[in-house]
């Protein structure tokens, strides 16, 4: 090797050592940042002079771990949002076995009617029946109100999710533009890729997506079903039509769970769309079904009623109208005809809600008819999903149980996916994160390389000086 070649090789070694030292220093400076990926220098031989050079700066990214963590985070976010959204309602609905739960309130009404049948003239027994009826109505209307609040909260959260998600999609498109303009392996490009990956991590909290990488370093962000959300530097903004329950990316339908749609299926946005369009409306239909059965059960068992006359339980004071079933649970009320504070009389609980005058004080016939109706199976709409025939108490028990189970199961799934995502994140941190001890060891190695190349240059300088002196 000539002196010139040795000198060029040592100079390139010094330059490489300087670049590597700068990378290690940057790694150490950013060790506390969760969105920072460790950098490494890729070395290659120089085409002339026989030295080495830093050909690129490489980010230590594990793509497989990224994909797995993002998938689990999307599922955790979906189930956590679903559980929290349902809890707004089920906390008011009450748990099975508690006095506040609807089955217990129906049982209390049935028990008080049984006692009244034994003492039909007792004002205290009549008052107990009225109180139980009003408690049952409060339980159903309170649950309906909570359902409405949960629906409003889900819709508000959905709009917030859309705002945040669309902003993140725009961030990805902007980072794509920066990455496309930056030379591969440069610090500018690595910084932009860090920012883009951080945005993608946040995106998966709202929606499950797939990333397609292009040759120039840009990416396309695709909904799990296949619809494009980001194509290079172009975004397809998400929007929601509350009237039709349709979620769109640009003009493409991406509504979760809709047949033939290339949509999303996880993340908080998907959960809120499901809550608004399917889950909460389905629970509302079941609650309305219970209210309808309660009204018609007491209308059918009351021999004192004429055509179109309301029974003990009413639709805001009116008789049941099948065409107005929707929202009945929120309008349910006890008939004023039996409420003394509204001008009614308690004796109608014994003689029938439509009775114009008091009957025999000891006659329990009508009370026993109410008791028998509560004990008998009633018809329900099979489309509500809880069967076509059941007693009121059993229907309420199945409904309350299923609604609470849906909440708790979503919570359990959320915890499971969150734990899995945390474990994968720890693995990613080991691969992609900065270990300060390792960086310090690299700095020692770089220092030794720098010193060795400096010594070679010093030796070559002395050699050249000696040769020049000999001339």
**DSSP-assigned states of every residue in 112-145:** HHHHHHHSTT-HHHHHHHHHHHHHHHHHHHHHHH
- Residue burial 359-379, b: 16+ Cβ < 10 Å; e: rest: beeeebebbbbbbebbeeebe
Give 43's pLDDT tier (boundaries 50, 70, 90): low
Position 432 scores a pLDDT of 66
- Of the pLDDT bands very low, low, confident and very high (cuts 50, 70, 90), residue 442 is low
Do residues 407 and 87 lie in contact, with contact meaning Cβ atoms separated by under 8 Å?
yes
Of 117-131, 254-268, 421-435, the one with minimum mean pLDDT is 421-435
| Angle subtended by helix axes 392-432 and 102-118, to nearest 10 | 160
- Residue 471 in tokens: 């001339």
What is the CA angle 400-406-411, rounded to 5?
130
- Mean pLDDT is lowest, of 133-142, 239-248, 275-284, 377-386, for 377-386
Q: How confident is the model at residue 192 (pLDDT cuts 50, 70, 90)?
A: confident
- Ranking 123-127, 212-216, 346-350 by mean pLDDT, the lowest is 212-216
Between these two residues, 31 and 220, which has the higher pLDDT value? 220
Separation CA 233–CA 432 (nearest Å): 26
Residue 367: the pLDDT is: 94
**Whose CA is closest to 100, among 139, 141, 142, 140?**
139
Q: Residue 149: its pLDDT value, please? A: 94
Mean pLDDT score of the chain? 85
**Distances, alpha carbon 224 to alpha carbons 161, 207, 259, 261, 275, in Å:** 17, 8, 14, 11, 19
Q: Give the pLDDT confidence score for residue 460 in this predicted structure.
A: 59
Listed in sequence order, the residues at least 6 apart from 55 whose beta carbon sits closer than 8 Å to its beta carbon are 42, 43, 44, 185
pLDDT at 332: 96
Q: 19-33, 209-223, 338-352: which has the minimum mean pLDDT?
A: 19-33
Percentage, residues of the chain above pLDDT 70: 81
**Predicted local distance difference test score (pLDDT) of residue 330:** 95
Choice among 97-111, 118-132, 268-282 with the minimum mean pLDDT:
97-111
CA distances from residue 398 to 283, 313, 393 in whole angstroms, order as listed: 12, 22, 9
pLDDT of residue 58: 66
Q: What's the whole-number mean pLDDT along residues 329-334? A: 96
Looking at 250-377, which runs of residues are DSSP E strands? 252-253, 313-315, 332-334
> Using an 8 Å Cβ cutoff, are 79 and 417 in contact?
yes
Distance CA 116, CA 385 (A): 35
Using the structure block, give the residue that is written with the tokens 């883009």: 196
Spacing of C-alpha 350 from chain mean position: 51
Task: Please check the confidence at residue 80 and state whether its pLDDT lies above 70.
Answer: yes
Confidence of residue 8 (pLDDT cuts 50, 70, 90): low
Contact (Cβ atoms closer than 8 angstroms) between residue 91 and residue 143: no
Predicted pLDDT of residue 16 = 64
**pLDDT recorded at residue 11:** 66
With cut-offs at 50, 70 and 90, classify the pLDDT of residue 449: low
Q: Which residue has the higher pLDDT, 27 or 65?
A: 65
In this prediction, residues 21-43 reach a mean pLDDT of: 69
Q: Which helix (H) or strand (E) holds 44?
A: strand 39-45
Between 435 and 296, the higher pLDDT residue:
296
Q: What is the pLDDT of residue 307?
A: 87
* Closest to 74 measured CA to CA, from 175, 274, 193, 209: 209
Rounded Cα gap, residues 229 and 411, in angstroms: 29
Q: Is the pLDDT of residue 466 over 90?
A: no
Bridge partners of residue 314, in order along the sequence = 333
| CA gap 207, 266 in Å, rounded | 5
Lowest mean pLDDT among 125-134, 188-197, 247-256, 285-294: 188-197
The highest-confidence range among 23-27, 61-65, 249-253, 281-285, by mean pLDDT, is 281-285
């Amino acid at each position: 090797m000539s002196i010139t070649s040795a000198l060029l090789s040592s100079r390139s070694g010094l330059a490489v050592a300087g670049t590597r030292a700068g990378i290690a220093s940057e790694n150490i400076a950013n060790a506390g940042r969760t969105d920072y990926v460790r950098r490494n220098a890729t070395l290659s031989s120089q085409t002339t002079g026989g030295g080495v050079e830093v050909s690129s700066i490489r980010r230590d990214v594990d793509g497989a771990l990224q994909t797995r963590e993002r998938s689990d985070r999307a599922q955790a976010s979906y189930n956590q949002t679903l559980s929290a959204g349902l809890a707004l309602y089920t906390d008011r609905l009450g748990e099975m076995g508690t006095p506040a739960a609807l089955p217990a309130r129906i049982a209390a009404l049935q028990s008080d009617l049984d006692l009244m049948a034994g003492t039909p003239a007792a004002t205290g027994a009549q008052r107990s029946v009225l109180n139980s009826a009003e408690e049952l109505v409060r339980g159903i209307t309170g649950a309906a109100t909570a359902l409405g609040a949960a629906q409003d909260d889900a819709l508000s959260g959905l709009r917030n999710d859309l705002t945040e998600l669309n902003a993140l999609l725009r961030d990805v498109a902007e980072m794509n533009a920066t990455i496309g303009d930056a030379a591969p392996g440069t610090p500018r490009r690595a910084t932009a890729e860090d920012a883009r990956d951080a945005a993608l991590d946040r995106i998966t909290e709202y929606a499950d997506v797939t990333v397609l990488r292009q040759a120039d370093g840009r990416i396309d962000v695709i909904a799990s079903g296949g619809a494009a959300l980001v194509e290079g530097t172009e975004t397809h903004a998400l929007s929601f039509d509350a009237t039709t329950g349709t979620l769109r990316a640009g003009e493409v339908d991406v509504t979760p769970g809709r047949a033939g749609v290339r949509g999303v299926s996880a993340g908080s946005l998907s959960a809120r769309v499901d809550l608004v369009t399917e889950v909460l409306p389905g629970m509302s239909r079941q609650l309305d079904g219970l209210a309808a059965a309660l009204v018609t059960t007491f209308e059918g068992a009351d021999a004192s009623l004429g055509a179109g006359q309301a029974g003990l339980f009413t639709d805001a004071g009116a008789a049941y109208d099948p065409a107005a079933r929707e929202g009945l649970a929120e309008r349910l009320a006890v008939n004023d005809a039996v409420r003394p504070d509204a001008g009614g009389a308690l004796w109608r609980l014994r003689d029938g809600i439509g009775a114009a005058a008091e009957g025999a004080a000891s006659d329990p016939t009508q009370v026993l008819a109410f008791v028998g109706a509560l004990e008998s199976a009633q018809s329900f709409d099979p489309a509500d999903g809880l069967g076509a025939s059941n007693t009121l108490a059993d229907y309420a028990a199945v409904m309350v149980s299923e609604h609470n189970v849906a909440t708790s199961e979503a919570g359990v799934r959320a915890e499971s996916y969150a734990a899995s995502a945390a474990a994968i994140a720890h693995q990613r941190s080991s691969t992609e994160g900065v270990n300060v001890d390792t960086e310090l060891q690299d700095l020692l190695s770089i220092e030794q390389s720098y010193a060795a190349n400096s010594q070679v240059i010093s030796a070559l300088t002395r050699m050249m000086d000696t040769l020049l002196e000999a001339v």
